[in-house]
Structure 1
Amino acid sequence: MSDEGTFCLVLHSHLPWLPHHGTWPVGEEWLYQALAHSYLPLVDLLHRLGERGRRDVLTLGVTPVLAAQLDDPYALRSAHDWLGNWQLRAQYAATRWRAEDPLLRELAATEYRAAGGAIEEFETRWRNGFSPVLRPLVDSGVIELLGGPATHPFQPLLHPRIRRFALHTGLTDTALRIGSRPDGIWAPECGYAPGMERDYADHGVRRFLVDGPALHGDTHAARPVGDTDVLCFGRDLEVTYRVWSPKAGYPGDPAYRDFHTFDHPSGLKPARVTGKNVPPERKRPYDPDLAAAAVRRHAEDFVSSVVTRLRDLRERHGRPGLVVTAYDTELYGHWWHEGPAWLEAVLCGLPAAGVRVTTLRGAAEAGHVGAPVELPVSSWGSGKDWRVWDGAQVADLVGAGAAVQDELLALPPGERDIRDPARDQAVREALLTLSSDWAFMVTKDSAADYARRRAKVHGDRFGELAGMIRANQHDRAHHRAAELRATDRPFGHLDARGLLS
């Protein structure tokens, strides 16, 4: 047992359902960038730590919709093509920058080697998808895996029947892919409404994450919710925000690679941040030595911050404390180029500083559990309420989503003993319409037009199928469902009888 206390890192891996929906700046490019720069390096790190005997390294949430994409044969073929194109772009950059700054020439060579390594890693370990890569890490106890509801909906806005069905479908999907049903979930956007814990308990979920303000910042221990034995863990914002906050964090350091500045002919990112208000054309070339020094400095700062926080918690509560931090996985490598190196330094530095590093499950088993709590309406979005997904900017999406739910629940049930592919596809399209991603992109003005279009496409597809089902046009409905399933095929096991019966 550690002297200082316990630390849990939770990573949330999620991207919207993207295959067959276009390329940069939205669509499949997001998926392949995240695969190359975040998921491949993270898995490699976890395997290396596992080979050293490390267990309960971190808690990893993988949403069913991301798992479906990274197991999809079309996406895997396209990802392999993307990695090859990355290497070609690096080769082209080396030609363009031959007479330029030596740092640029070295960057092109580094990118070429990185792309080659990614191709080799993909061809040897990832060729059959993400699930075969994840399962050994779960089975050996290197990580704790969190599941979630299908299509990543903002659960508080769902009708209870649909919410329970989405949760069941998502947990079943993870069990089919990994071989075991997770007993913890990442609730999409950490969205919570009072009473949802009973749904969790009914589905065997024993742990989920909320943002710190839902517990008024008292995140030193997990808390049973209401009269259930379902535990909520609060994200410690005091520590979390040292890495990434709405206004600051390590990735903004002048030495780190700048995410937003592109060399458009090659598609590479050749600049360092340089300064907060420095325009792209004045940013300095990326210097890996400067970045490595910043990684060491920030890893040491983070370890020191965790130790200080744990000592404060021990003094305040008279017992060893718990610090839980949580981030999007894509921060590490995709948004923050140096993130994987920082992550490795922290995961090795914390145990050396006397901090027990474990999972949410491990923290509960170690006794970091406090008194029951009644949680308020909450999320991890702006304002820590529901405004991102239920605000004025997205009132049209919310209204359309409510109408889809009403129409879905009003559909006549099919035969109890026979699956109906048309009803299965109708439910699938309805759930994709209700993804939380569309409202987030609109509220944050991040590809808002794309998000509205995607929500409308799925809503229109659902409406089309629903109309055929109501009119008893079975042949037309089955034909249309087959067409849609050929292009968008997440959750092939989804059985509408679990909802429409």
Structure 2
Amino acid sequence: MTEEGTFCLVVHSHLPWLAHHGSWPVGEEWLYQAWAHSYLPVVDLLERYAAQGKRDVLTLGVTPVLAAQLDDPYCLRAFHDWLGNWQLRADFAATRWTDPLLKDLAAAEHRASAKALTDFETKWRHGFSTVLRGLVDSGVIELLGGPATHPFQPLLDERIRRFALNTGLADTEHRIGTRPAGIWAPECGYSPGMEQGYAAAGVQRFLVDGPALHGDTSAAHTVGDSDVVCFGRDLEVTYRVWSPKAGYPGDPVYRDFHTYDHPSGLKPSRVTGKNVPPEEKRPYEPELAALAVQRHAADFVDTVVRRLRSLPKPGLVVAAYDTELFGHWWHEGPAWLDAVLTALPEAGVRVTTLRGALEAGHLGGPVELPASSWGSGKDWRVWDGEQVADMVDANARLQRTLLDTLRPSDVRDPVADQLLREALLALSSDWAFMVTKDSAADYARHRASTHADGFSHLADLIRLGAREKAVDVAAELRVRDGLFGTLDARGC
């Protein structure tokens, strides 16, 4: 144990499921932006750490549905095109921007896109799994898995919940070669007794939000009478970076995520100020942003050290964020991450994974967890509140229909597989979250209803005995949506 204590950084990679062939281009654009600006630079950072011999640097969660997208041939081809287009947009910006700062920015964008193209063509052309497996095998990360399509588990029928979790873990094992022993539960959603299902699936540890432990996040805890361990997010530390109201990315000198130069599609401005209209924002200056990165990294390290000193020894701090924060939402995030992971050990803090924290002895006594999530109110209101009551009711009916329709079989049935696939996609937690938060709510409702309609069509054909038609419809839906080749309805 080092002098100050132990710090665990958990980052979770997840974006809403997209469909093939541009059916929902907003979903594809989200994916490719995050891929280019978060996944490529974060992986590059971790590969450099691995080459330096560093181990157990951070805990990385990858939602199975995202891993499927990053391995999919269609997505790989389309992302390669997107990267080439990024470089063309940078070249175009260089011809139309006259401000010297913006001309420098266009050149920087050209260099960044060229590096991204080289990295993708030399490392990623066969998909994410080959890259991720190298990080796992080197020991630089601990990998977390999760249920197949990111559902809000407390609202699932126990049978469907069990299937979704086992399918997600099996899919990760299929891609990486090892079954994850830990998960970042979607939305940190928990209901009492879920630890028994985790134990049955081989899950040894999972993440909850700090309030579920009444703020006592200074150690991991076994849950109930099980051997399954939960870790709590330390919100005092986590919110220093990213909170519902503030955080480092809002600094005036950082690159503004929301302000576009529409002809080029690039983001040429700094934040400047919360109430400054886009047309009045000042040009981005990388040198000022680099100074802010160092200032905020030092502040975060000081925050972690102060927090550890306030805790009973040995102390543990767990901070957790979406991977997409680092580079996608916050352009300077990867540089900040590198600075923090370098400075914390120099300040006497052990940096390790959740697995490493247990090996170091950070295990307290058993706890009884309440129904909880990381969302507003730390309860379930984001996913079962009034704004989404109709979706909750529809999902409950869908689950009942699914369980009434599926029949035990020793023979794999592509119709049953697709029926289940459409159900799991309709049950994704993202749709309710986006509606409640009014973030592309129409898109989310459209996605949910599209999958629910596909499910209902198949269920009706099965009920009517229209086998040939059901096979044709299942094949059509499979081309449109499916990336989970390992999903097998016989397990449900």
Name the TM-score, length of structure 2 as normaliser.
Answer: 0.99
Are 1:305 and 2:303 matched, yes or no?
yes
- Do the aligned partners of 1:21 and 1:27 also contact (CA within 8 Å) in 2? no
Percent sequence identity over aligned pairs: 75
Task: Give the equivalent residue in structure 2 for 1:73.
Answer: 73
Task: Give the equivalent residue in structure 2 for 1:19.
Answer: 19
Shift of 1:14: 0.4
Match of 1:146 among 141, 144, 147: 144
- Give the Cα–Cα distance (whole angstroms) in 1 for the partners of residues 273 and 213 of structure 2: 36
User: Could you give the per-residue CA deviations for residues 57-80 of structure 1, whole angstroms, max 9, x where no partner exists?
Assistant: 100000000000000000000000
User: Could you give the per-residue CA deviations for residues 427-459 of structure 1, whole angstroms, max 9, x where no partner exists?
Assistant: 000000000000011001011001001100000
User: Could you give the per-residue CA deviations for residues 263-309 of structure 1, whole angstroms, max 9, x where no partner exists?
Assistant: 00000000000111111111100000000000000000001110111
Task: Give the equivalent residue in structure 2 for 1:394.
Answer: 388
Shift of 1:23: 7.8
Match of 2:256 among 255, 258, 264: 258
Task: Give the equivalent residue in structure 2 for 1:323.
Answer: 317
Task: Give the equivalent residue in structure 2 for 1:424.
Answer: 417
Match of 2:454 among 455, 461, 465: 461
- Give the Cα–Cα distance (whole angstroms) in 2 for the partners of residues 91 and 308 of structure 1: 46
Shift of 1:26: 1.8
Match of 2:363 among 358, 369, 374: 369
Are 1:91 and 2:91 matched, yes or no?
yes
Structure 1's unaligned 5+ residue stretches are none
SS at match of 1:26: helix
Are 1:440 and 2:438 matched, yes or no?
no
Amino acid at match of 1:199: G
- Give the Cα–Cα distance (whole angstroms) in 1 for the partners of residues 40 and 484 of structure 2: 24
- Do the aligned partners of 1:19 and 1:69 also contact (CA within 8 Å) in 2? no
Match of 1:334 among 320, 328, 338: 328
Shift of 1:134: 0.3
Are 1:359 and 2:346 matched, yes or no?
no
Shift of 1:19: 3.2
- Give the Cα–Cα distance (whole angstroms) in 2 for the partners of residues 251 and 136 of structure 1: 30
Are 1:199 and 2:197 matched, yes or no?
yes
Amino acid at match of 2:449: K
Shift of 1:24: 8.3
Kindly report the root-mean-square deviation, in angstroms, between the aligned alpha carbons of the 2 structures: 1.0
Name the TM-score, length of structure 1 as normaliser.
Answer: 0.97
Counterparts in 2 of 1:400-419, with a 5 A limit? 400-413=394-407, 416-419=409-412
Amino acid at match of 1:419: R
- Give the Cα–Cα distance (whole angstroms) in 2 for the partners of residues 412 and 134 of structure 1: 35
User: Could you give the per-residue CA deviations for residues 310-351 of structure 1, whole angstroms, max 9, x where no partner exists?
Assistant: 0111xxx2x210000000000000000000000000000001
- Give the Cα–Cα distance (whole angstroms) in 2 for the partners of residues 194 and 35 of structure 1: 36
Amino acid at match of 2:391: L
User: Could you give the per-residue CA deviations for residues 406-426 of structure 1, whole angstroms, max 9, x where no partner exists?
Assistant: 000001415x22101000000
Shift of 1:25: 7.1
- Do the aligned partners of 2:18 and 2:24 also contact (CA within 8 Å) in 1? no
Task: Give the equivalent residue in structure 2 for 1:179.
Answer: 177
Task: Give the equivalent residue in structure 2 for 1:273.
Answer: 271
Task: Give the equivalent residue in structure 2 for 1:488.
Answer: 481
Structure 2's unaligned 5+ residue stretches are none
Match of 1:378 among 361, 372, 393: 372
SS at match of 1:466: helix
Shift of 1:20: 2.0
Amino acid at match of 1:372: P
User: Could you give the per-residue CA deviations for residues 90-134 of structure 1, whole angstroms, max 9, x where no partner exists?
Assistant: 00000011xx22110000000011000000000001001111000
SS at match of 2:26: coil
- Give the Cα–Cα distance (whole angstroms) in 2 for the partners of residues 412 and 35 of structure 1: 37
Number of equivalent positions: 492
- Give the Cα–Cα distance (whole angstroms) in 2 for the partners of residues 122 and 211 of structure 1: 35
SS at match of 1:410: helix
- Give the Cα–Cα distance (whole angstroms) in 1 for the partners of residues 265 and 114 of structure 2: 17
Shift of 1:471: 1.8
- Do the aligned partners of 1:90 and 1:109 also contact (CA within 8 Å) in 2? yes
Shift of 1:495: 1.0
- Give the Cα–Cα distance (whole angstroms) in 2 for the partners of residues 338 and 27 of structure 1: 23
Shift of 1:490: 2.2
